[in-house]
Amino acid sequence: MDKTDPDYHMNEPKMEKDYSESVTALLPEVEQLASGGQIPQALEKLHALEKKTRSAGDLASTSQLLVRIVSVCGDSSSWALLEQEVAAMTKKHGQLKQAIAKMVQSAMEYVDKTPDEQTRVELIEALRTVTEGKIHVEVERARLTRMRVAIYEQKGQIKEACDTLQEVQVETYGSMDKREKTDFILEQMRLCLAKRDYIRLAIISHKINPKYFQTEGTEDLKLRFYELMIQYDLHEENYLEVCRHYKQVYETKGIKDDTAKWPAVLQNMVLYLVLSPYGNEQSDMLHRVQKEDHNLEKLELCAQLAKGFTTMELTRWPAVESIYGGEFRKTDVFSAQTEDGNKRWMALRDRVIEHNIRVIAKYYTRASTLRLTELLDLSSDDVERFLSKAVVDGTIYARIDRPAGVVNFAKPSDSEEQLNGWASDVSKLLGLVEKTTHLIAKEEIVNKIARAI
């Protein structure tokens, strides 16, 4: 918004006259008229004095009168009249911004007092229209929008709820408390997830700085945020990110200190870390979790699985299936009852095979395809497929000689490496020659001295 816009600043005109005594004298009279059902007469008196207080710049008196106008309409259940009055008062020439804010806040209190849903929606929409584009009531508009969205959601209109909530860009609101702002953004993320709008969810998630969760009293928001991010990254099958999210949850004080909660979180963290494609970061994190987290020792199967991936030894898939299948297939990660669980179980099989290929590449320079099929428990076609993937990913070097049925894991050195190797060998040879010459000369001198004596 342009800073030249009069709505940008909350500076009010200087008060020329104090009408507080007039307001105090008028209110009992208005109360009497309103209680007698004479709503138009009560509003007429309030309008007359409101015009004077507004012209004089008396903020306190104007605010008091506007709030009283709202209460007269609201207490008499004149909902249509309330909407009209609020709209009319905000359009008055020279209306004080803070007075409008207090009037809107007062009107919001009557939203829950409406007799039916239709009346509630009409009042909310009327107040949202009044507050649209006005910086001094941006927080009130955001709260009204959440009320409207809640009604949409109750009726199962997820798309409308999500679209309505996206209209409000709370990250630009300077007057909103940071906790409320974060809560609002989390609600936007939740509705995007419910709508399955994963692209927008990812965009909105960047509006929250995870460092904010280090502030005391934000633990509930932190857990909500990472729960949503876990669901998003599971959809994207980005298991390393899922592991990171679980790590953040695990390191939360309320989780780590609760013996009933941390085992499940730590187990999920390790399982998704093992499921992540091999890389420097994944390998480093796996080693650190295994060595530094002593709680892992209390989860025997998880500790064994992590050790199997950090030890350069072959891990046969049939053995893995028999040892871990009975327990892990009951978890949400590898559930045998869901399509995603079965998919992740097969992904674990792929990770075991990839680990075995790295082990073989380390200890073998050449191996026959037949021997590899025995070591990896795969068909020759599958061996070739996994080897090709490992080579493309850059985790190993391999060349397959199909006619000979041989796989070569030794990486040939290029001409530069050969020259460097030869130069190094020649340098070592010259060093040995020089050392030998020195020792011979030393021996000759010793012998000459011995003969002279």
Q: How do residues 410-445 score in pLDDT, each as one tens digit? A: 887 777 777 887 888 888 999 999 999 999 998 888
DSSP symbols for 188-206: HHHHHHHHT-HHHHHHHHT
Tallying the residues shown for the chain, one arrives at: 453
For tokens 């490496």, the residue is 417
* Cα of 43 vs its chain's centroid, Å: 50
pLDDT one-digit tens code per residue, 32-54:
888 888 888 989 988 898 898 88
Q: What is the per-residue pLDDT for 415?
A: 75
Q: What is residue 340's predicted lDDT score, i.e. its pLDDT?
A: 92
What's the DSSP call for residue 395?
Answer: S
Question: Residue 102 CB: number of other CB atoms within 10 A?
Answer: 21
Is the whole-model pTM more than 0.75? yes
Confidence at 3, pLDDT banded by 50, 70, 90? very low
If one counts every other C-beta atom within 10 angstroms of the C-beta of residue 432, the result is 10
What mean pLDDT, rounded, does the chain reach? 89
Residue with tokens 């729960």: 227
> pLDDT per residue over 79-121, tens digit each?
999 999 999 999 888 888 899 999 999 999 999 999 999 999 9
Closest Cα partner for 97 from 172, 174, 176, 7?
A: 7
Q: What is the rounded CA–CA span in Å between residue 41 and residue 357?
A: 89
Task: Let me know: does 272 contact 246? Beta carbons within 8 Å.
Answer: yes
Is 271's pLDDT higher than 90? yes
Long-range contacts made by residues 149-157, C-beta under 8 angstroms, separation at least 24?
Answer: 149/187, 149/191, 151/117, 151/120, 151/121, 151/124, 153/191
- pLDDT score, position 143: 93
The answer to whether residues 216 and 253 touch, using CB atoms and an 8 Å cutoff, is no
Question: What pLDDT was estimated at residue 223?
Answer: 94
What's the confidence (pLDDT) of residue 210?
92
Q: Which pLDDT score, from 0 to 100, does residue 5 have?
A: 39
> Which amino acid appears at position 207 of this protein?
K
Phi, psi of 294 (to 5 degrees): -75, -20
**CA dihedral over 156, 158, 159, 161, signed as positive or negative:** positive
